[in-house]
Amino acid sequence: MPASPVHTVTDPATGDQVSLRVLARRHGLGYYCVARRHWRGLRGWALVEPVKDVRRRIGIAWAEDRLRRQAEAEQARDLAEATEHPLSRIRLS
**Tens of pLDDT, residues 36-66:** 999 999 999 999 988 766 666 666 777 888 8
Q: What is the pLDDT of residue 15?
A: 92
Q: What is the pLDDT of residue 41?
A: 93
From residue 8, how far is each of 35, 68, 90 by CA, in Å? 11, 38, 65
Same domain (yes/no): 60, 82: yes
Same domain (yes/no): 2, 46: yes
**pLDDT (average), residues 11-38:** 93
Single out the residue in 16, 35, 50 at which a domain terminates: 50
Same domain (yes/no): 6, 36: yes
Give me the domain span that covers residue 67: 52-93
Rounded distance between C-alpha atoms, residue 6 and residue 20, angstroms: 8
Domain count across the chain: 2
Same domain (yes/no): 16, 2: yes
Q: What is the pLDDT of residue 22?
A: 94
Same domain (yes/no): 42, 73: no
For residue 1, pLDDT beyond 60? no
Strand partners, 18: 9
Mean pLDDT score across all residues of the chain: 82
